[in-house]
Amino acid sequence: MSKGLVIVVTGANGGVGFGICHRLLVQLSSPHPSDAQPFFKVVGADAVPSHGILDEYEFSPDAGVTIIMACRDPRRAQDARTRLYRLLDEHVAGLSPGTKEQAYAAAFRKTVKLELEILDLSSVKSVLDFGRRASDKYEYLSHLIFNAGTATYSHLDLLGFTLDFLRFPIHAIQHPRRNIQVNGVLSKDNLGYTWQCNIFGHYVLYRSLQDLLVAYSNFTSRSARVLWMSSLDSEPVFDPKDDWQLTKTYHSYQASKFQIDLIASELEKRTVEALEAGRVSSMEETVAPHGEIHHLIVSPGIISTNMSSLLNIWIPGYQYLMAVAFWLVRFLGAPHVLMSVFSAAFSAVHLALVPLRHVPTVRNSPQISPLDVEYPFWHRYHGKTSTRVQALRFGSENDRWGNDRPGVIAVPVWDEHPNAGEVLLERFERLYQAFDMANADRERAENGNGYAKGNGKAR
């Protein structure tokens, strides 16, 4: 069996997901990927991990990299795969003939695979079916990159946005507040639509593929990685008791991204517990038994993608006006405004490839504080910024001249609900188990023989 990476990217047919696939292909076609080089200063980064799990990759063109493009629309997915192969061919052709780099890239091109899989995150059955197909087809998975997302936008308050931009141009672009959303939208499973597409569907996907991630670690002695795509607009703008599926709030997109921060940080906390103590205090089934899976939070920054089409803007030349606005605020010093999805993919690809000991954490980088960054909307809803940190979020950044770099900011604790992540994880798990059992019952009924293949989980 090959030791090549097998990476799942959700929403890979467009936007940042496409950019992640493109950047992975470019980076992995190099013997020394620049995105895999350490960037942050981390205390104790030179120490060898003591738990027996390797934290860096040995890149080989013959290992065979597989990128699984998990998409809802088969036609768009096929078009995206064709484009990605063409972009990789153009990259390889642009390398100097006769060099080691060109020879490596040419060998990589012969072994790399872009696989298409249908995945509709608004349907739990589709997610569970994906997990079953993956278990049948692949012996392991090395990465899950949870990129896909949506929002229930109705329109853009153009006048309000214009006024915001004239008064506070950087803030208006990096933290847009005039993208009007509607509430009460439900999925086909009768769950909050944005909540299910952005986070719960991904949680179900993680649990469905958990055994394949552990299999990778067992085979290679390296940790598998799950990257959860958050946002600069992550905010605690929901009632964690009565609106955890985000059907009442008019800020379901921002709230879903904050839930991603909560869930990912809670899972990573349990992973650290498993590594240090050999066990976790509760809900052992949600993490790998020996800390084989790490969970990281990432943000693509601000980029104009297909998400903007949900705003129903029919103004001639609007996209060109926004491009000018993006260039302006970047020149003014806005680090999070990116001009291409390839640049927006920087942080995700860096976290996917860099040695884990060079990734800052709350414990090894105590100098990173919520006070290092501005949280204007945290102030609006809570009156103050928390001085405690629950996790770190990594984001794609660039300077005013367009030089890409990874950045990191603190995710502060929700003071009023300090255990929100633990509570949400318990609710997510109960709901996942209910859907998984119902799906197994449905399969038994369809097969007529009392047998359901399921997703490899004990029931």
CA distance 455 to 253: 29
- Global pTM reads 0.91
* Average pLDDT of the residues in 385-391: 73
For 213-245, the three-class secondary structure string (H helix, E strand, C coil) is HHHHHHHHCECEEEEEECCCCCCCCCCCCCCCC
Output the six-digit token pair for 85: 């192969």
What tens digit of pLDDT does each residue of 279-325 get?
A: 666 677 888 877 789 999 999 998 875 455 555 555 666 677 777 88
What tens digit of pLDDT does each residue of 416-436 get?
A: 898 999 999 999 999 999 999
Q: Which domains does the chain have, with CATH numbers?
A: 6-153+188-312+338-447 (3.40.50.720)
Q: What is the pLDDT of residue 447?
A: 77
Which of 228, 181, 195, 193 has its CA nearest to residue 424?
A: 195
Is 287 in contact with 270 (CB distance < 8 Å)? yes
Q: What is the pLDDT of residue 305?
A: 58
What tens digit of pLDDT does each residue of 113-142 get?
A: 999 999 999 999 999 999 999 999 999 999
Output the six-digit token pair for 16: 């940042």
380, pLDDT greater than 80: no
> How many Cα atoms occupy the beta-carbon half-sphere of 418 within 13 Å?
5
227, pLDDT greater than 70: yes
CA distances to 86, 88, 89, 98 from 94, in Å? 12, 10, 9, 12
What tens digit of pLDDT does each residue of 62-106 get?
A: 889 999 999 999 999 999 999 999 999 999 999 999 999 999 999
